[in-house]
Amino acid sequence: MSRHARPRGLLARGLLSRGLWPLAAAGLSLVLVITAIVVLSSRDEDSPVVSGPTAESAPAPSGAGGDGSRLAGQPLYVDPNGAAAEQVRAWEGAGRQADAARIRRIADQPVATWFADDRAGYADRARQLVTAATAAGRLPVLTLYHIPDRDCSGQSAGGAADATAYRTWVRAIATALQGHRALIVLEPDAIPQAVEGCLGARAAQERYALLAEAVGALRANPGVLVYLDAGNPTWITDPSRMLAALRSSGIAKASGFSLNVANFETTADNVAYGNRLSALLGGAHYIVDTSRNGNGPARKGAGNQHWCNPPGRALGDPPTTRTGVPLADAYLWIKRPGESDGACGNGAPPAGQWWPEYALGLTR
């Protein structure tokens, strides 16, 4: 990594002789002024890059070989119309001021906006989101979650009808993002589920090909970063098992990979895992979902209670692009805190639906 240029010293030889001291002094003063200007105008590439509202520079094109400052200092976009914000307004109107104040801890943070269906207007929603974020001078986070055979018949089953439908859906969103900056989390769980074996060999290869095509379509927009999901440290515990699938899914053209989406593993464990996987990928960068990992994971017990709305969890590190970890581009709230993991007991609604009681629990 290069550092800022240090101007070579200049010597005013011979000027101090023969009574030319005033001229020498003036010359040296001029040299010092010029030197100071050069030093100040040189950019220290090790310092964080802060992008303002009018920044036009595009993010680095690849996760590998980045300088660790791809997003440092970049402000993230807060959606004023999210479910948490609506809950705050409703409870304030009902006089539940204390509860509203607690939910505001979620509403005031930048969280990802999920695109998980092909209902009419999905591309317009994406365009409106990035347009508002651009106007605010902030970076929006979008999660695309519509791969065919999504969640392998689990709590979040669904997705596009087939490969053709998925390609059409991705292209429409890519078109909606043109001219804007955005950070995309691409298809949580899709790769680790395929590696785990929930799909047949042919279906898995089709999934990887679709992801690679999606990376290419989205990254055709210079301002768009794309992170392929790589699970969490307790899922595919040997990161080398992820390599072939990530490569087939376009990691070389992506901005990096994401970890811990909708999970509860600690930030420290994710960083350790991310650094191991990054080393195998030649230095790929990564992002970590810290939305609900403040107390770490729940103990594993019967059924799916350790991951499906487990009690006693807490909000994690606030979203930031200043992680202090060279390879970690951001800690993000990708899973929207307060949205259900699935209808898995205790009155939980279906996956993705807002659950204010659980949201309150996360803020305690």
Q: Which residues are catalytic?
A: 151, 189, 341
Q: If you count them, how many residues does the chain have?
A: 364
Q: Using CA atoms, how far apart are residues 147 and 145, in angstroms rounded to an integer?
A: 6
Q: Which of 288, 340, 280, 339 is nearest to 317 (CA)?
A: 288
* Amino acid letter, residue 358: Y
The strand ranges marked E within 222-327 are 224-229, 256-259, 286-289
**Residue in the block written with tokens 């053709």:** 164
Give the sheet arrangement for strand 256-259, strand by strand: 113-115, 141-144, 182-186, 224-229, 256-259, 286-289, 328-332
Q: Long-range contact list for 40-47, CB < 8 A, 24+ apart?
A: 42/4, 42/5, 43/4, 44/3, 44/4, 45/1, 45/2, 45/3, 45/4, 45/69, 46/1, 46/3
DSSP state of 187: -
Cβ contacts of 144 within 8 Å, gap of 6 or more:
115, 170, 173, 184, 185, 186, 187, 214
Q: State how far the alpha carbon of 257 is from the alpha carbons of 189, 237, 251, in Å.
A: 12, 16, 8
